[in-house]
Amino acid sequence: MVHMNILITGAAGFVGFHSAKRLLSRGHRIVGVDNLNSYYDVRLKHERLTHLRGNTRFEFHELNLADRDGMRELFRTNSFDVVLHLGAQAGVRYSIEQPFAYIDSNVVGMLSVLEGCRHSGVKHLVYASSSSVYGANTKQPFSIEDRTDDPVSLYAATKKSDELMCRTYAHLYRLPSTGLRFFTVYGPFGRPDMAYYKFADAITAGRAIDVYNHGNMKRDFTYVDDIVDCIEVIVEREPSSSKDATPHRVYNLGNNRPERVLTLVGLLEEHLGVSARVNLLPMQPGDVEATYADIEATRRDFGFAPKVSLSVGIQKFAEWYLARRDGLAASR
């Protein structure tokens, strides 16, 4: 295997951290970029970076993706074989409160990455999209062949914009690009704004949790190790393309098994050892009732086969969560 120089944006984020850790273990050199914003507890981002900085092949830059001069200098002073673009402003509901944060990070930031790749000869851009692009689509499971022009949140609209921008650069400049539509990724070192993490915080503190759509929500929960297994394969395999075909492709990365959110709550109760008090509430603006990934193309092209059940994944998360909570309490 050829060892590569890889840029990972969002390296202090959840999927970015796990991806960097795996690719470092494969012998690649990683340059990580993150702006370390305060959307959620920055201490968690620093904890992730502490694990990565123990490897001499990891280099970190605190940098905002929308900083054009900073991004231009980053690409000028490095020679990247692959860019794994995972940096973004995440969260559906927050996009209603802070819309400009999403345009700056997800649209302007994507353009900075594309321009850097274009002018520095990057061989492959792999970037994070989202299951949110399927919007109000009621057909299940969601297929990469389905229309994605009916977003129900600004976050989804920015992710669809990313896909269109990448396809345009692939067409104009022959930049090979692969978009990954993630479906509800969870696990240790996860994002505190995600439902499973917020539920764990509330349950262990004795607070009630809010479950929307009166408990009728379903999500295709996907354990982070399964996601990273596939990212590793994709990063190490440059897309093949004919001179007539645009070298851009999009794939679903989901578990292919939607689960009720109330099932998730029951597993958290079991593995955290605490009963939950549940408030059943109406659907929230920007939410969709169910997500369900058709992963046939991802399986065909990359051998993607999620292995971790929700029960096992939540057990692993709960063990990490309790150990971290106890460690933070002891350090105070």
Provide the annotated active-site residues: 155
- Residue 290 pairs in a beta bridge with 218
| Sign of the Cα pseudo-torsion (190, 191, 195, 200, in order) | positive
How far is Cα 139 from Cα 293, in angstroms, rounded to an integer?
Answer: 11
Distance CA 95, CA 103 (A): 10
Nearest to 187 by CA among 221, 223, 228: 223
Distance CA 248, CA 171 (A): 8
Query: Residue holding tokens 């002073």?
Result: 77
CA-to-CA distance for 101 and 94, rounded, in angstroms? 9
> Where do we find the tokens 């992710």?
159
Helices (H), the chain: 14-25, 42-53, 68-76, 94-97, 99-102, 109-120, 154-173, 195-205, 224-235, 261-272, 296-302, 310-331
Dig out the tokens for 32 from the structure.
Answer: 């990580």
